[in-house]
Amino acid sequence: MAEQTLIELRSVAKIYGTGEAEVAALAGIDLSVHDGEFVAVMGPSGSGKSTCMNILGCLDTPTSGHYLFRGADVGGMSRNERALLRRHYVGFVFQGFNLLKRTTALENLELPLIYRGVARSERRRLGMETLAQVGLADRWHHTAAELSGGQQQRVAIARALVTSPSVVFADEPTGNLDTAKSHEIMQLLQSLNRERGLTIVLVTHEEDVARYAKRQVRFRDGLIESDTGARV
Condensed to tens digits (0 to 9), the pLDDT of residues 176-196 reads: 888 888 999 999 999 999 998
Across 45-68, average pLDDT:
92
Average pLDDT, the chain: 91
Q: What is the mean pLDDT of residues 25-37?
A: 95
Helix residue spans in the chain (DSSP H): 49-56, 79-89, 105-115, 120-133, 149-161, 179-196, 207-210
What pLDDT, on the 0 to 100 scale, is given for residue 193? 94
Mean pLDDT in residue range 96-111:
90
Within 8 A by CB and 6+ apart from 78, the residues are: none
Contact 231, 3 (CB under 8 A): yes
Instruction: Assign 231 a pLDDT band (cuts: 50, 70, 90).
Output: low
- Domain coordinates in residue numbering, the chain: 5-228
CATH 3.40.50.1370 fits 5-228, yes or no: no
Quick one: pLDDT at residue 230? 65
Q: What angle do CA 86, 92, 94 make, to 5 degrees?
A: 145
d(CA 28, CA 31): 10
pLDDT at 99: 87
Question: What gap in Å lies between CA 156 and CA 95, rounded to an integer?
Answer: 10
pLDDT at 45 over 90: no
Between 230 and 93, the higher pLDDT residue? 93
Q: Which amino acid is at 109?
A: L
Give 203's pLDDT tier (boundaries 50, 70, 90). very high
In this structure, the strands spanning 72-73 and 64-69 are antiparallel
Global confidence as pTM: 0.91
Residue 1's pLDDT is 40
Per residue, the 3-state secondary structure of 8-44, as one string, reads: EEEEEEEEECCHHHCEEEEEEEEEEEECCCEEEEECC
pLDDT tops 90 at residue 4:
no
